[in-house]
Amino acid sequence: MSTSRKIIHIDMDAFYASVEQRDNPSLKGQPVVVGGKPDSRGVVCAASYEARRFGIHSAMPCSRAWRLCPQAVFVPPRFEVYRSVSQQIREIFQRYTDRIEPLSLDEAYLDVTYSEQAGGSATLMAQEIRREIVQRTGLTASAGVSNNKFLAKAASDFNKPDGITVVLPEQAEDFVAQLEIRRFQGVGPVTQKKMQAEGIFTGADLRQRSLAELRQLFGKSADYFYNIARGRDDRPVESDRERKSIGAETTFETDLSDVPQMLSVLNNLAESVVGHLQRRELCATTLTIKVKYSDFQQVTRSYTDARGFDAAADLIACFPWLLSRTEAATRPVRLLGVSVSGLKSLDGMRQLRFEL
């Protein structure tokens, strides 16, 4: 890997649930669901591996999770604690590189191409990072190492939990060929069903399709699918100083039709986004929600406030109005996203507020 980029993807194992099991030893080995109460209209934020065996997953209605596993232990989320632990993990990353692209509180890309740590070996760096995370937080993480973001992320999911997978450039095509389509970043449940209906179940199947065929089937996503089927991905790791917006989104395994559950999902996403803002001591002036319907039509709705947003409550207060400006109440929704832009330093924004 010495002649190409060196990318590490670190993904914490069942992060929220693992923190709860760490802090409450009686929960260890139990099916833990972090989210609303089982009789509420809330959604699952996270599920321990013990709970996942029953088919429970994030963004699932808590009532359904309870039906799947009545013995599950439901605990409310503690986002302040998760953000604090995430900051500890981030400090470990910074000892290896300043090119860090967080995707959420529990996962990030690291570009270590020019890092001299561990003799310049990305594999050894990933091993050291995982050991340091355990030592400092008591939590485990999985890692993927390769020469691009797609391969690194797929690799980190390949040997979970508490595993590491390295994909060398010369191994890329063989690695992708045996991957199930559901493991491909960018392939959600609806796209997966569409691919499978076309006889595409693995990376090898996807590679058999021409670019023209893929464009006919998947439109503007075709070029991305064509390239990742061959292990290619030129996207750079975007460090904090390069980012003009911060966002988080989730795709549902089953389309949502219940507005209160959608608002619950948006509220959880807001906590993640605000965590990123607070770690960087930033404030945002524009809030945007993204809604993708079951037919893949996508809309965004935004609100700008010169006073800025720097707390989850600020975002959450806007969601009912923003969502009401979409057709979410009458059309099934397969994806929801929250992003903020117009990023400014928190100190500068506080001074502006004082002057106003």
Q: Using one digit for the tens of pLDDT, what is the confidence trace for 223-258?
A: 999 999 999 999 999 886 556 888 988 888 788 999
Structure confidence at residue 22 (pLDDT)? 97
* SS3 letters across the chain: CCCCCCEEEEEECCHHHHHHHHHCHHHCCCCEEEECCCCCCCEEEEECHHHHCCCCCCCCEHHHHHHHCCCCEEECCCHHHHHHHHHHHHHHHCCCCCCEEEEECCEEEEECCCCCHHHHCHHHHHHHHHHHHHHHHCCCEEEEEECCHHHHHHHHCCCCCCCEEECCHHHHHHHHHCCEHHHCCCCCHHHHHHHHHCCCCEHHHHHCCCHHHHHHHHHHHHHHHHHHCCCCCCCCCCCHHHCCEEEEEEEEEEEECCHHHHHHHHHHHHHHHHHHHHHHCEEEEEEEEEEEECCCCEEEEEEEEEEEECCHHHHHHHHHHHHHCCCCCCCCEEEEEEEEEEEEEHHHHHHHHHHC
pLDDT in tens, 192-212: 889 999 999 999 999 999 999
For residues 341 and 283, membership in a common domain is answered with: yes
The last residue of one of the domains, among 45, 79, 113, is: 79
CB atoms within 10 A of CB 77: 19
Q: Is 236 part of any domain?
A: no
Distance CA 182, CA 167 (A): 19
For residues 59 and 74, membership in a common domain is answered with: yes
Whether omega before 161 lies within 30 degrees of 0, making that bond cis, reads yes
Within 13 A of 2's CA, how many CA atoms are on the CB side? 4
Structure confidence at residue 144 (pLDDT)? 97
For residues 347 and 264, membership in a common domain is answered with: yes
pLDDT band for position 354 (50/70/90)? Answer: very low
Rg (Cα) of the chain, in Å, rounded?
A: 20
- Tokens for 210? 């021409």
Distance CA 155, CA 351 (A): 45
Structure confidence at residue 356 (pLDDT)? 42
Which residues partner with 109 through β-bridges?
9, 101
For residues 221 and 253, membership in a common domain is answered with: no
Known catalytic residue: 170? no
Q: CATH number for the domain including 198?
A: 1.10.150.20
pLDDT band for position 2 (50/70/90)? Answer: very low
pLDDT band for position 9 (50/70/90)? Answer: very high
Residue identified by tokens 């400006």 is 325
Range of the domain at 255: 243-355
Lowest mean pLDDT across 2-16, 125-139, 150-164? 2-16
Structure confidence at residue 4 (pLDDT)? 83
Lowest mean pLDDT across 60-69, 116-125, 245-254, 333-342? 245-254
In this predicted structure, the answer to whether residue 171 has a pLDDT above a threshold of 60 is yes
pLDDT in tens, 65-80: 999 999 999 999 999 8
Query: Which residue among the candidates 107, 198, 253, 271 is catalytic per the annotation?
Result: 107
Taking all residues of the chain, what is their mean pLDDT, rounded to a whole number?
A: 91
Q: Is 84 part of any domain?
A: no
- Tokens for 3? 């002649």
Residue identified by tokens 């595409």 is 200
Structure confidence at residue 1 (pLDDT)? 44
Q: Is 5 part of any domain?
A: no
* Residue-level length of the chain: 356
Q: CATH number for the domain including 258?
A: 3.30.1490.100
Residue 107, amino acid: E
First to last CA, the chain: 54
For residues 148 and 248, membership in a common domain is answered with: no
What backbone torsions phi and psi does residue 350 show, to the nearest 5 degrees?
A: -65, -40
Closest CA to 173 of 199, 143, 198, 208: 208
For residues 119 and 145, membership in a common domain is answered with: yes
pLDDT band for position 347 (50/70/90)? Answer: low
Residues 135-171 as b or e (16 or more Cβ within 10 Å = b): eebebbbbbbbbbbbbbbbbbbbbebeebbbbbeeee
In this predicted structure, the answer to whether residue 350 has a pLDDT above a threshold of 60 is no
Prediction pTM value: 0.80
Indicate the number of domains in the chain: 4
pLDDT in tens, 272-302: 899 888 877 888 999 999 999 988 899 999 9
Structure confidence at residue 244 (pLDDT)? 80
pLDDT in tens, 40-72: 878 899 999 999 999 998 888 899 999 999 999
Average pLDDT over residues 310-326: 93
For residues 255 and 319, membership in a common domain is answered with: yes
Average pLDDT over residues 143-163: 95
Q: CATH number for the domain including 40?
A: 3.40.1170.60
For residues 347 and 314, membership in a common domain is answered with: yes
Q: Is 147 part of any domain?
A: yes
Average pLDDT over residues 90-94: 96
